[in-house]
Chain A
Amino acid sequence: DIQMTQSPSTLSASVGDRITITCRASQSIVSWLAWYQQKPGKAPELLITKASSLESGVPSRFSGSGSGTEFTLTINNLQPDDFATYYCQQYNAYPLTFGGGTKVEIK
Chain B
Amino acid sequence: QITLKESGPTVVKPTQTLTLTCTFSGFSLSTPGVGVGWIRQPPGKAPEWLAVIYWNDDNRYSPSLRSRLSITKDTSKNQVVLTMTNMDSVDTATYYCAHRPASFSVYYFDLWGQGTLVTVSS
Contact = CB atoms under 8 A, between A and B. Distances in A.
Report, as a range, how many residues of chain A touch the other chain: 20 to 34
Interface in A45-102: 45-46, 49-50, 55, 87, 89, 91, 94-101
B48 interface: yes
B46 interface: yes
Given A34-B108, A91-B108, A95-B63, A43 B46 contact: no
Nearest to B44: A101
B106 interface: yes
Given A32-B107, A96-B107, A98-B49, 14 more contacts: A1-B63, A34-B108, A43-B98, A43-B113, A44-B112, A46-B109, A55-B110, A87-B47, A89-B49, A91-B107, A95-B49, A95-B63, A98-B47, A98-B48
23 contacts: A1-B63, A32-B107, A36-B47, A43-B113, A44-B47, A44-B112, A45-B112, A46-B108, A50-B106, A87-B47, A89-B108, A91-B108, A94-B107, A95-B62, A95-B64, A96-B49, A96-B107, A96-B108, A98-B46, A98-B47, A98-B48, A99-B46, A101-B46
Contacts of A96: 37, 49, 52, 107-108
